[in-house]
Structure 1
């Protein structure tokens, strides 16, 4: 096994519990897609890592011990991950959740989600992709009940995004259950699946009546999962806004799966900033507004970055909010700390008074590395105006 000698600042990061190896720490790195022994300049062994370029970092520390990445090592990881998620496995109200979450389960670069009887593997770099047969065979030993699996390619390399990986093929679309609500999902159509599983606790709040009897606006709605949850929790009306033309068809599928009448539920294919103007012109107001944008977006007229521009979404949403209304502000930007996110929100509100009702981050199936704030990327703040 190759040795990688690190400087004192990298040694400090590793000893603090951070598993991601940053490109800034290795400007002249020549090794790649290989397992290495990490050592300090004084010769102290710091851990076993693998090197592989991905959109964040150049590799991951995977053990504090000298280890071999073999089936026994991976089976032990999967068994430990499974034991953390017993409550999900035993739930009759939830059939979709995360089984394995990167550095939260001590192996960065791979996530595995459960969608009913099927698993979905996401590969984030060339090393894990090259090891996928080994990873899959270890997974099958721990989860023999999973009927089949699919894979998503989340790095530049292979010439495909999505494929069937092993076992039985899933139907083109099928239903999963979450908080007792039915959602229609798909596993082999690009990188999306029809739902973002990391938001299941936020949707749970809506199912439990956060928007009961109220009129909800869902911005950047994708397949309107927040809107469906709100409708199932007694919302009087919902409006879901997304620029993607396909979002309307996918959103309606969720509503139909739950036998919901579409009469009081609108689906608008429009840029969110254009919809703000439209709503103001038509005097539309709402009791609850959900804002969950992508971290970065670009259209013909402008680019949008959560880190710089989130306050603009808040400022314009406040104009559409009824007195005493509720705003759910959400972001999955890992480059934005909770403190920075709260500053963006405060800037958006300006002089308007508001109070925090709740602050949520990743749910327990999305295990995190407690020593690395960027591992807990989801930030959802529910505010009362």
Structure 2
């Protein structure tokens, strides 16, 4: 049985936690110094020592841990974890049964009731991501659920917290059978080549599934498509499958070339008919303007923060200017797919960036589609920052 620490919640935060806010913040706690070992259970109480909630201590970004239950009589044990995991799987049965999509999120942290843990499914293989040393202390409870309740080929894990080089499991493998990589998975009948044994990035971001499908089905046909910050070229592949006349993928990472070639190849697409460019995206904007290049569709999906030799980019500060650069190389009546996974601002503020960018360049636009996280990336209304993805399809008019 894990030890339990009683934490007093400051008066002005009590209602927030009673209503189900899940992230334990430093600002809310009176006696933070009582926290010693990550993985300890915590009991939140008010000034009169009345029970508020129970959770665990685990340092993650701005938080000290996560609330797991508001029921005083609910124990945080093997049964608790099994219940939450089973419920999450049941909620996604239609995805498990799909023959068109074989990669999706099976468990999405606080959205499914356990902050700090995500689990992704790749055609019989599962990847567990632990976001703090605290949640990693519950590894046995989670793995026991899989051993007792789930048919799986193999299980891999990613420690997304500072392990100070103490990475015990070779190539992230945990149990079951080792996969043969690349593993080919499907998303809406398009193939993706993934590597579950190759660090934090496996080769595709699953949260953009609905966006990729929409580009393929409604916007790519007979269009020239520019994919900026292209990573492994997933948007480019969907555009090509959707009938784009040509795709151009730009990313600064050297490995993006081979990875993008691979994604085109596993879909039977001639990669030599596409442009795959390894270059600083910010430099490519200048090059495109100089060469008077313009595109029908421009996909803009930068990281929240990026640093190249000459440019430091922060989505919260610099997205507006990125949009202005994008407008300059988009054809009249063209489409910009503006995307961000930055949780520091909401959809309303994101739309404000778009409004300002178009005002400053003296152009008009119309929003034609907008997306947040897909259904398998479950979120809760009490934690709006958990719904981090914001994607807006902008038509130049």
Place the TM-score, normalised by the shorter chain, in its bin: over 0.9
Q: Distance in 2 between matches of 1:89 and 1:115?
A: 10
Structure-1 residue corresponding to 2:78: 71
Query: Deviations for 1:277-315, whole angstroms, at most 9, x for unmatched residues?
Result: 111122211000000000001122121100000011100
- Are residue 45 (structure 1) and residue 51 (structure 2) matched? yes
Which deviates the most, 38-47 or 181-190?
38-47
- Are residue 276 (structure 1) and residue 276 (structure 2) matched? no
* Alpha-carbon distance, 1:155 to partner: 1.0
TM-score (norm 2): 0.94
* Alpha-carbon distance, 1:211 to partner: 1.1
- Are residue 359 (structure 1) and residue 362 (structure 2) matched? no
Query: Deviations for 1:109-166, whole angstroms, at most 9, x for unmatched residues?
Result: 10000011100000000111122122111133332x2111111111112523951111
- 1:234-249 superposed matches below 5 A: 234-249=243-258
* 5+ residue gaps, structure 2: none
- Are residue 9 (structure 1) and residue 4 (structure 2) matched? no
Q: Distance in 2 between matches of 1:234 and 1:27?
A: 59
* 5+ residue gaps, structure 1: none
Structure-2 residue corresponding to 1:155: 161
Query: Deviations for 1:57-81, whole angstroms, at most 9, x for unmatched residues?
Result: 1110001113332221111111110
Task: Note if contact 1:55-1:155 (Cα within 8 Å) is conserved in structure 2.
Answer: no
Structure-1 residue corresponding to 2:383: 372
- Counterpart secondary structure, 1:149: strand
* Alpha-carbon distance, 1:24 to partner: 2.3
- Counterpart secondary structure, 1:3: strand
Aligned residue-pair number = 384
- 1:177-196 superposed matches below 5 A: 177-196=186-205
- Are residue 298 (structure 1) and residue 307 (structure 2) matched? yes
- 1:56-95 superposed matches below 5 A: 56-66=62-72, 67-95=74-102
TM-score (norm 1): 0.97
Q: Distance in 1 between matches of 2:208 and 2:332?
A: 27
Task: Note if contact 1:110-1:123 (Cα within 8 Å) is conserved in structure 2.
Answer: yes
* Alpha-carbon distance, 1:354 to partner: 0.6
Q: Distance in 2 between matches of 1:381 and 1:16?
A: 31
Structure-2 residue corresponding to 1:331: 340
- 1:201-280 superposed matches below 5 A: 201-280=210-289
- Correspondent of 2:319 among 310, 313, 336: 310
Q: Distance in 1 between matches of 2:179 and 2:188?
A: 22
